[in-house]
Amino acid sequence: MPVSRWPASTIFAAAVLRLVAPGCASAQISIAPTIGVYVPTAELYKAATSGQTFKQEVSITVGGRLGINFGQRVGIEGTVVYAPSKLKFSATGSSSSTSANILTGSGRAFVELLPRTNALSLQVNGGVGIVRRSGTAYQGDPSNTDMGGVVGATLRIRLGRLLHLQLHAEDFVYKAQYAPSTTGSGFTVVNKQLNDVLESLGIRPIAAVGERLTEASTDIDAAGLYVLPGFVDVHVHGAGGSPDPATMARFLPSTGVTSFLPTLATSSPEDTLVFVEAVASLGAAPGAEVLGSHLEGPFLSHERRGAQPREHLRAPDGPEIERLLAAAKGSLRRITVAPELPGARSAVERLLQNGVQVSLGHSACSYEQALEAAGWGASSVTHTYNAMTPFHHRQPGLVGAALACDRLVAELIADGVHVHQAAALALIRARAPQGVAVVTDGLPALGLPPGVYDWLGRRIVSDGTVARLEDGTLAGSATPMLQVLRNLVDWGVPLEHAARMVSRGGAILAGAADCKGAITEGFDADLVLMDEKLRLVSTYCRGQLAFSSVP
């Protein structure tokens, strides 16, 4: 399956045939079109460290260079290179292909270490650069543009007066990332000054990743353990016996969850407003971080309501939306909407204007209606396969959009009951880990023994895996995210991919892609330590120990 880009840095290397324009070869100013081969060193590193084999189809690059020399050894240059790549990965029992298109540009000052008159020259350079990524390898990853200071080196072999063979590599030394508005817009600058400010607020970001690290105030012995990014659950109604977000925050670290969106099912206008206000008023507290709220309703289809209370379902209403936005004070992160309902488009557009992501779900919409809603700005599908028209090869519906539309991140409940293993694997293979966000859809029974529990004043019966209404209707899950991860691995999903789907996918949907869901510099130190049997050893939330199985 496709592999995410190496998060620690961005390296570009290309072998380039440099054709110098006639009449410019010995001038102070040179203009050169370039053609060559792109080598994705970051993906090579990631594949090698994850036990995968890696193959790249021939990737021809095109670009150009404008250079100005001041004497024989010093000058400035600007370069642009476009590299459309086809990458193939294989691991035990699976293989996949993906695309990774790279557009890189930089402006640099350079110093020639060997005179330019030699057949062989070596140049070191530094300046500013930008790298833009697209293609299925980066699908669902909002941080697909890096910019900042770069340093590099160029080895050039003169094959003739007008023809050079050039190998260039560069890396960022000071980097900012840009994320689109639907996933938390703005720039994230990775630097020590920002880390100091965050730590003064009690948030401990990751300062460095690698083999050679400086001394730290706290040492964690992780010998023989897996260290994974903290799990992010963006669809969870309750846990540990309660729907109360503060109680959930204390309980969820015992399941590996380090941040979450408390979720409310369809309720009356008054109860919905109370819930949104309560989440907005929560202050910082130990345990899993509350990233905001998720409303699963009330603007849902009667036909595909599932366990949603029929009496509270309603069409999108402008005044109600305005009241919710005012009460949320910016904390409403997601809302699930059936796009076929009257007034859905204006509601979606208004929500997006206020930074609220819209997910499509509990819907009888057609495939075409789902794509239209994606065009409005909807960015995900709520619990794919569940509470929507079943897939048909001539009428694919919302399931078809979840399988085929790159603009929609697909939620997946992987408890083994809501979705059959084969259907789950089909979704993952169709969309790759970057296009899937695994959620629990947990109810208050999550993580507790089988029994009868209360949910929004309704009796639910849990068998320890799922919870049902008394009439047998599936209401939600009782399977914690930790077991969900194990399920995925048992089904043959590589651990690295499973870990991404329970962490990075949720971070993107929560609008926290700039600080959650990855182990990299500047991100919150949300970590899960597990042994070789995937048993939870400890959970760290923002650098603080939140759960330990060791006395």
Please state the pTM of the whole predicted model.
0.67
Report d(CA 480, CA 464) in Å as an integer.
Answer: 10
Average the pLDDT over each of 151-160, 260-269, 417-426, 479-488 and give the range with the smallest value.
151-160
Q: For the CA atoms of 43, 101, 137, 426, what is the dihedral angle to 10 degrees?
A: -140
User: Given this model, what pLDDT does residue 8 score?
Assistant: 33
Q: Does domain 11-179 have CATH number 2.40.160?
A: yes
Please tell me whether residue 430 adopts helix, strand or coil conformation: helix
Kind of pairing, strands 409-413 and 436-439?
A: parallel
User: Given this model, what pLDDT does residue 415 score?
Assistant: 97
Please tell me whether residue 535 adopts helix, strand or coil conformation: coil
Taking 50 as the threshold, does the pLDDT of residue 222 lie above it? Answer: yes
Tell me what the mean pLDDT of segment 272-297 comes to. Answer: 94
Burial of residue 63, with CB atoms counted within 10 A of its CB: 0-12 exposed, 13-18 middle, 19 or more buried: buried
Report d(CA 414, CA 360) in Å as an integer.
Answer: 19
Report d(CA 307, CA 99) in Å as an integer.
Answer: 40
Please tell me whether residue 458 adopts helix, strand or coil conformation: strand
User: Given this model, what pLDDT does residue 2 score?
Assistant: 30
Taking 70 as the threshold, does the pLDDT of residue 78 lie above it? Answer: yes
DSSP characters over 267-301: --HHHHHHHHHHHHT----SSSEE--EEEE-SS--
Average the pLDDT over each of 15-29, 163-177, 265-279, 422-436 and give the range with the smallest value.
15-29
What are the structure tokens assigned to 447, written together? 């993580």
User: Given this model, what pLDDT does residue 211 score?
Assistant: 61
Burial of residue 233, with CB atoms counted within 10 A of its CB: 0-12 exposed, 13-18 middle, 19 or more buried: buried
Report d(CA 338, CA 169) in Å as an integer.
Answer: 48
Known catalytic membership, residue 524: no
**Percent of the chain residues topping a pLDDT of 90:** 57
Taking 50 as the threshold, does the pLDDT of residue 77 lie above it? Answer: yes
Tell me what the mean pLDDT of segment 343-357 comes to. Answer: 96
What are the structure tokens assigned to 486, written together? 């194990």
Closest CA to 164 of 7, 21, 319: 21
Which of residues 453 and 107 earns the better pLDDT score?
Answer: 453
pLDDT tens per residue across span 37-61: 666 555 555 555 444 555 555 566 7
pLDDT band at 139 (very low <50, low <70, confident <90, very high): low
Average the pLDDT over each of 130-139, 315-324, 502-511 and give the range with the smallest value.
130-139
Taking 50 as the threshold, does the pLDDT of residue 220 lie above it? Answer: yes
User: Given this model, what pLDDT does residue 273 score?
Assistant: 97
Report d(CA 387, CA 385) in Å as an integer.
Answer: 7
User: Given this model, what pLDDT does residue 25 score?
Assistant: 44
Taking 60 as the threshold, does the pLDDT of residue 520 lie above it? Answer: yes
Residue carrying the six token digits 């990775």: 190
CB 538 within 8 A of CB 547: yes
Taking 90 as the threshold, does the pLDDT of residue 230 lie above it? Answer: yes
Closest CA to 462 of 444, 445, 475, 447: 445
User: Given this model, what pLDDT does residue 111 score?
Assistant: 85
Q: What share of the chain is helix, strand, coil (3-state, %, to 5)?
A: 25, 35, 40
Classify domain 227-526 at the CATH superfamily level: Metal-dependent hydrolases (3.20.20.140)
Determine which one of 441, 514, 524, 526 is catalytic: 441
Q: Return the axis-axis angle of helices 367-376 and 344-353, rounded to nearest 10°.
A: 30
Which residues contact residue 219 at a Cβ distance below 8 angstroms, ignoring those fewer than 6 apart? none
Taking 50 as the threshold, does the pLDDT of residue 491 lie above it? Answer: yes
User: Given this model, what pLDDT does residue 522 score?
Assistant: 85
Per domain, the residue ranges of the chain are: 11-179, 227-526
CB 324 within 8 A of CB 332: yes
CB 468 within 8 A of CB 475: yes
Which of residues 386 and 143 earns the better pLDDT score?
Answer: 386
Which of residues 372 and 203 earns the better pLDDT score?
Answer: 372
Residue positions counted in the chain: 551
Average the pLDDT over each of 115-124, 192-201, 232-241, 367-376 and give the range with the smallest value.
192-201
Q: Which amino acid is at 145?
A: T
Report d(CA 151, CA 220) in Å as an integer.
Answer: 33
User: Given this model, what pLDDT does residue 274 score?
Assistant: 97
Average the pLDDT over each of 139-143, 280-284, 491-495 and give the range with the smallest value.
139-143
Is the Cα torsion angle 503, 506, 510, 514 positive or negative in sign?
Answer: positive
CB 230 within 8 A of CB 526: yes
